[in-house]
Structures are given as C-alpha cells and as structure tokens.
Amino acid sequence: MIVTDLVMPVMDGFELIRYIKQSAQLKNVAIIASSASVFDSDQNRSLDVGADAFLSKPVVAETLLELLRLKLNLVWIYAPESEVYSKCNQTHIQSDSQNLSLPSIEILTNLYELAKDGNIDGILHEANNLKSNHPVYFDFAQQVIQLAENFQIRKLREALNQLIVQSK
C-alpha cells in the first residue's frame, strides 16, 4: 500500500502513480492519492492515472483505516473494552491524582486552541518549550506530549478543557 500526496517536489503524485502502475514489480500495489485540493478534477485525475482511492486532507483516521481495510482485505482485531478503558485512563491528564503543577490558564487555553485546530506540531512545540523553560511543569508537558504523539487529540482537548474549567 502506498499513500501519496499529489503535491510534492521533483515528481508530483500523478507522475508517481503513473510510474508505479507502469512498473512490472509494483503495478499491483494499491495506491491511495491524498490532497488538500477541493477540486473534483484532481480527485478524478488521480483515479484516472491509476490510484485505487482518493483521501482528502485533513486526513480523517477512520476514513484512512476503512480504506486500508478495504484495499488490503484486512480484518481489524479490537482489544477488549476493559483493556481499552484501562489504557485510556492511564493517559488522561489527571491533576488531582498525580498532583501535577499546572501552567497558567493562558498556556492551557493556547494548548487547547492548538488541539482544537488539530495542530500536533504546535502542541509538541509548546509542550517541549514548557518542559524546557519551566521544569516545574515537566510532568504535565510530558503527558501532553504523550497524548499528541499518540494522536489522541480529542482526549487531549477534553482534558485541557476540563483543566481550564477547573481553573476558573
């Protein structure tokens, strides 16, 4: 499976798809073309040159997983609910039980806005700055980083919102 952006330096996604489909060794590899383009012509063109599917950006994880399931004939195996809830509870930002030192409401709000926008790079940048410049917030920043790196943005957003409400 190859997931390719349509806009790339040197060779665009259309050329890459054509090249792969002409290759004897790679012609049967499934390809998902991805782009932020809202034009139907880009979507149709990617399918015309040989892409098996089109995935618009920003990528929705559920849509990507469904395409992977369909194109690769996968069967997803899910963990038992009790295990999932146990792991979820371990990654929540819990100020009461862990006695975390929390940053100002301005910083919490900034992180919340970044999470609301889905800006993982921005969250990681801010959390790493917080960790480096204010060691007292190290544990808090580390939990934010862990959630962001695991793409648990909804969980991060909910936890930050709860902390903001509690701080008021």
pLDDT band at 86 (very low <50, low <70, confident <90, very high): low
The number of domains in the chain is 2
32-36, 37-41, 63-67: which has the minimum mean pLDDT?
37-41
Per-residue pLDDT of 119-141, as tens digits, reads 989 999 999 999 888 888 888 88
The domain boundary residue, chosen from 55, 72, 89: 72
Q: Which domain holds residue 34?
A: 2-72
Task: Please indicate, yes or no, whether residues 67 and 99 belong to a single structural domain of this protein.
Answer: no
Task: Please indicate, yes or no, whether residues 38 and 61 belong to a single structural domain of this protein.
Answer: yes
16-25, 90-99, 114-123, 145-154: which has the minimum mean pLDDT?
90-99
Task: Please indicate, yes or no, whether residues 135 and 161 belong to a single structural domain of this protein.
Answer: yes
SS3 of the chain: helix, strand, coil, percent, to 5: 60, 10, 30
DSSP 50: T
Give me the count of residues in the chain: 168
The domain boundary residue, chosen from 16, 51, 72: 72
> Looking at residues 98-123, what average pLDDT do you find?
87
Sign of CA dihedral 76, 44, 58, 121: positive
- pLDDT value, residue 87: 52
The domain boundary residue, chosen from 38, 72, 106: 72
**Bridge partners, 53 (sequence order):** 32
Task: Please indicate, yes or no, whether residues 94 and 151 belong to a single structural domain of this protein.
Answer: yes
pLDDT band at 93 (very low <50, low <70, confident <90, very high): low
- pLDDT value, residue 151: 83
